[in-house]
Structure 1
């Protein structure tokens, strides 16, 4: 049942021009940034060749590409997740869905997997860019994998909180703004320690940017991975609880 709902959600995304438009704009922007980094590496290559231990092709191109993709997806994800439950509620189809012989867990996970399918497609298209360099250069596949894993965990966390906001908001626009606000707060949370010269272990742990950058650098630790898994699990559980309460009120 989860796969059935996910398949329906995934197909519905491409019935509207939003998904196609977002994919096209994302590819255009990221392709431009990617080619800019390739050009920068080409211009710096003669100088880097004479420096011992200088950063290579992967260091100069891959982390900036995935870092830029993370910032853009922080802006895009709220637009993709805002309709998940809110649209069902506005179209008066949520009552039919809740009255069907389908568990709340199936509904939430189905919606989550469906929208995550689009996010995985975006990550796959982004990954093809650095892989294209294998035709004329060498890549550190370990660092590339770390960046893919970091972006994958980040996007699944973004999607989880977007789904929760869509469950509790009454309008898609409110859901999108709430999702963006929370994600932006978690993104800049650790900046306060730099401004005040005072470290806060709590802010450091809650900062989604810090965990993303740790994995992106190639230092894949259980602390960072467990942070994302706990983050995703928490917001999916909250989404299920929210929809359960709405089901009981019907």
Structure 2
């Protein structure tokens, strides 16, 4: 049932112009940023060859590309998750969904995986850009994999948070704004860590950006991966709990 719901959700996304529009705009922006980084590398290459241990093609092109993709997906994910549950509630179809012979866990995980499928497609299309550089250069595949893993874990967390806010909100616009606000807080929560006297280990640990950048460097730590899995699992469980409350009220 989970796979059936996920497939239905994935198809539903592409039946509306939202998914196509997001895909087109994201690929256009990321392609522009990618070509800009390639041009920067071409200009710097003569100077880099004279420097021992200078950053390579992967450091100058690939890492900034995935960093930019993370920021853009922070803006785009709320648009993809805002309708997941609150649209069902708004259209009075949530009661029909809850009366079906499926568990709340199946509904939540199915909708989550359907949205995650679209985000995974975006990551794969983004990864094709640096792979095109193999025609005339060399890449550090370890760092490329680390960047893909970092972005996958990040968008998995984005989707789980967006799904939970959609369970709470009564209107898609409210869900989108609420998701964006919460993601932005978690993204910037460690802004005080730049000031040595005001460092907070709690804020550093809660920061999405810090864990994302740690994995981006190629140092894949179980602590960073566990953080993303813990946050994702927590918000999925909260979404199931919220749906349990809706079912009890029917």
State the TM bucket, normalised to the shorter chain: over 0.9
Partner of 1:51: 51
Q: Distance in 1 between matches of 2:196 and 2:216?
A: 26
Structural RMSD (CA): 0.8
Q: Distance in 1 between matches of 2:80 and 2:197?
A: 37
Q: Distance in 1 between matches of 2:221 and 2:196?
A: 28
Matched ranges for 1:163-178 at <5 A:
163-178=163-178
Displacement of 1:199 in angstroms is 1.2
SS of aligned partner of 2:92: coil
Displacement of 1:193 in angstroms is 2.3
Does residue 242 of structure 1 match 2:245? no
Matched ranges for 1:140-179 at <5 A:
140-179=140-179
Q: Distance in 2 between matches of 1:133 and 1:164?
A: 39
Distance verdict in 2 for CA 1:76–1:43, change over 3 Å:
same
Structure 1 unaligned runs (5+)?
A: none
Q: Deviations over 1:107-136 (max 9, x none)?
A: 000000000000000000000000000111
The TM-score normalised by the length of structure 1 is: 0.99
Q: Distance in 2 between matches of 1:115 and 1:57?
A: 32
Paired positions, count:
250
Q: Distance in 2 between matches of 1:193 and 1:154?
A: 21
Q: Distance in 2 between matches of 1:62 and 1:80?
A: 25
Displacement of 1:196 in angstroms is 6.6
Structure 2 unaligned runs (5+)?
A: none
The TM-score normalised by the length of structure 2 is: 0.99
Q: Distance in 1 between matches of 2:111 and 2:19?
A: 15
Q: Distance in 1 between matches of 2:191 and 2:23?
A: 30
Structure 1 moving runs of 4+ over 6 Å: none
